[in-house]
């Protein structure tokens, strides 16, 4: 059963990454309550966001192997391609993240 080994915690990590990404956009746009953070602190949030994105993917793939839905061979074959598709922080997408926050 996919997702069963870690009780879908990978989705929780993904939600956490999304929350960080929205905060990053708000800090860059100097939105109210987000207008006083330093660039150094913003960089720390960006690092945490990017790490959470990678962790979500790795947890998901590991879950599939440990749940018996996939094998190690597929893990190592699929991981590099899926890592290349991760949406790490990109300032050009800030407006999209702010719009998504309004929904």
Q: How confident is the model at residue 3 (pLDDT cuts 50, 70, 90)?
A: low
pLDDT of residue 96: 94
- Over the stretch 31-89, which tens digit does the pLDDT of each residue have? 999 999 999 999 999 999 999 999 999 999 999 999 999 999 999 999 999 999 999 99
Q: Which domain holds residue 60?
A: 9-102
Task: Give, for 84, the enclosing helix (H) or strand (E).
Answer: helix 72-84
pLDDT of residue 100: 82
Q: Would you say residue 1 lies in a domain?
A: no
Residue 87 CA to residue 92 CA, distance in Å, equals: 12
Q: Would you say residue 3 lies in a domain?
A: no
pTM for the whole structure = 0.89
Number of domains in the chain: 1
Tokens 């300032």 sit on residue: 91
């Amino acid at each position: 059963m996919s997702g069963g080994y870690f009780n879908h915690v990978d989705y929780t990590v993904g939600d956490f990454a999304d929350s960080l990404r929205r905060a990053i956009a708000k800090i860059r746009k100097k939105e109210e309550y987000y207008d006083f953070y330093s660039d150094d602190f913003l960089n720390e949030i960006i690092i945490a966001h990017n790490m959470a994105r990678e962790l979500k993917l790795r947890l998901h793939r590991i879950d599939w192997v440990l749940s018996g839905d996939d094998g190690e061979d597929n893990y190592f074959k699929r991981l590099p391609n899926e890592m290349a598709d991760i949406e790490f922080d990109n300032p050009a997408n800030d407006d999209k993240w702010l719009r998504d926050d309004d929904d």
